[in-house]
Amino acid sequence: MTVRAFFRSVKIENATAPYDTLYLKVLYPARMPGENIESYQGTLPPDSEQAPFPVVIFFSGFNCEPSLYQWLAVQLATRGMVVITFAWIAEYLPKAIGITPGVNMAMCTPTTYGTGSTALALPTLLAELDRLQAEGILAGMLNLQQIVLGGHSGGGRIALENANPQFYPQVVAAFSYGAHSAAPTMLGFAPGTILPLPSSLPMLMMGGTRDGVIAAMSGIYGLSNGNATTSIVRTFNEAIAGGRNDTYLMLLEGANHFSITYPLDTTISASLLDLPATQSEDKIRSLLGQVVGLFIDDRVRHKPEASEALENILNNANPLIATFERK
């Protein structure tokens, strides 16, 4: 399988210049031509035999460049999916400029949460998918009724919060790493509040037992124990209704907040808060990629062999898996 990519740029409606542009990378399963490869000038045709392709939109963590998740995007594209990563440089906090997954803070208050989308970039991304379906090398090859949201840290929270058919009927599942729905007390929530998440779609929540970022920032949410996994476990237990056995929690032994990124970017501020991983990060990423791919193949693409393979990974003894639950 060959994976290729191309780039797009799109404007965010109502955003203020110069912080009004998304820069997209679109990765897709490609077909290597038998001859005259020079005539393609680097743009290979998609592998139409695998079409229509489900689409994964991935939301980066704050100040995490999209390239840090390319290893995962390539793995998913190898399975026959189109993956969208994007960079949006904007003011994500007062006087703080950086890469943002696009949090709609107006929808994150005690009076507004749950009444609308918290994803500022998502409507623009979905509109761009409509354009890709209408023109270009992926025209007619996207399954726009099978869109999966994924993300890391703050981007993972956006993925979970917006896997809601009432807001986005084309979204069918979500996955996250290092994310939770604890409520910041600075927005007016009571300490220790865990906000509800949509519960009508399959979800996969993942995290690491060495997540120093979550542990260090517990006080922002009124969680005083500074534990690496408490907020993730509480989110799984309290924020999601469950009842269909299609929502998963997997905590990885020895993984930290940035185990999902490669290579590690030590220049971003949050990296100073993290704890060292205590197991092979290559093996951690390999397991993450496997589980995410099988989750989508099982719950979105309904491949029977994927369900059995996912169960085997999650239920058999594995030194990398500290906790596995399903509800």
CATH of residue 139's domain is 3.40.50.1820
Domain count of the chain? 1
Q: How confident is the model at residue 63 (pLDDT cuts 50, 70, 90)?
A: very high
Task: For residue 317, name the pLDDT band (cuts at 50, 70, 90).
Answer: confident
Q: If you compute the radius of gyration of the chain from its CA atoms, what whole number of angstroms results?
A: 19
Q: Which residue has the tokens 């205590």?
A: 278
Read off the pLDDT of residues 87-116 as tens digits, 9 standing for 90 and up.
999 998 778 899 999 999 999 999 999 999
* 130 and 165 Cβ atoms separated by less than 8 Å: no
Name the pTM for this structure.
0.96
Q: Collapsing DSSP states into helix, strand and coil, what is residue 155?
A: helix
Read off the pLDDT of residues 274-301 as tens digits, 9 standing for 90 and up. Answer: 999 999 999 999 999 999 999 999 999 9
Please state the separation of Cα 36 from the chain's center in Å: 37
Cα–Cα distance measured from residue 299 to residue 177, given in angstroms and rounded to the nearest whole number: 18
Note the pLDDT of residue 95.
Answer: 83
Three-state DSSP at 45 gives coil
Q: Mean pLDDT across the chain, nearest whole number? A: 95
In the structure, what pLDDT confidence band is assigned to residue 35 with cuts at 50, 70 and 90? low
pLDDT, mean of residues 2-22: 95
Model confidence band, residue 316 (pLDDT cutoffs 50, 70, 90):
confident
State the residue range of the domain holding 292.
Answer: 2-326
DSSP secondary structure of 204-243: EEEEEEE-HHHHHTGGGGT-TT--SSHHHHHIIIII----
